[in-house]
Amino acid sequence: MKRIKGRYSDAVTLRRGQDLKVTTETGNQVADMWAFSLNDMTEYMSMEHCRSINSLIHVTAGCSLVSNRRRTMLRVTHDSAEMRHDTLLCPCTSELYEELGAPGHRSCTANLHEALERHGLSCPFTPASLNVFMNVPVAGDGSVTRLPPPCQPGDHVCFTAEMDVVVVLSACPQDITPINGDARTPTDLLVEILDPSDSKAISQ
Ligand SMILES: [Zn+2]
């Protein structure tokens, strides 16, 4: 098991058929998530294609997570929180924190590129993130609200890889708005990779 400290990030490699389990230890932590083809960094998980293929503006258990070439990269196989994971809002950036009066603040965008660099990879831009555990209800008029995660400690989401991928996870450093809980304190994510023979264990 890998622990990603609150405010920081890491990358993991998943082979086709392996399962990825992402847990919020406190129930209050958003995980910004990206996926790239292991063989071609120009193929990446695309939120616009996910919304199109699932005919859904959020992600729930059963959703297919597809690339910008519309190939399924991952499938959401289990979600203990049974929630709607946000696909709409941007990963936080240094510019956003400047607007909030916190120049130099860590961001999910910087976390993505730092994690890739540590693994000898790079992407010249920032794809939209899947915002796991991020609670952004959309009203009938299209307006969105940013609420704390509706999760319990230990809630987790499981993904099955349908191709070989690199997944980056950022324990979102946002501590100015309550998106990571009313305490506004980023906390750790737990990340596990399980082979198909272990997968029974994670769905319980
Ligand atoms: Zn963030």
CB 196 within 8 A of CB 18: yes
Q: Is the pLDDT of residue 106 over 50?
A: yes
| Token pair in block for residue 72 | 């399924």
* pLDDT averaged over every residue in the chain: 96
How far, in Å, is the centroid of ligand 1 from the Cα of 23? 16
Q: Is the pLDDT of residue 15 over 80?
A: yes
How far, in Å, is the centroid of ligand 1 from the Cα of 200? 31
Say what the pLDDT of residue 38 is: 97
Say what the pLDDT of residue 196 is: 81
Say what the pLDDT of residue 198 is: 67
Render pLDDT for 37-71 as a digit per residue (tens, 0 to 9): 999 999 999 999 999 999 999 999 999 999 999 99
Confidence of residue 204 (pLDDT cuts 50, 70, 90): very low
Domain boundaries, the chain: 2-202
Q: Is the pLDDT of residue 185 over 90?
A: yes
How far, in Å, is the centroid of ligand 1 from the Cα of 134? 10
CB 126 within 8 A of CB 9: no
Query: What is the distance between the alpha carbons of residues 139 and 122, in angstroms, rounded to a whole number?
Result: 37
By the CB criterion, residues less than 5 angstroms from ion ligand 1 are 92, 108, 172, 174
Q: Is the pLDDT of residue 201 over 60?
A: no
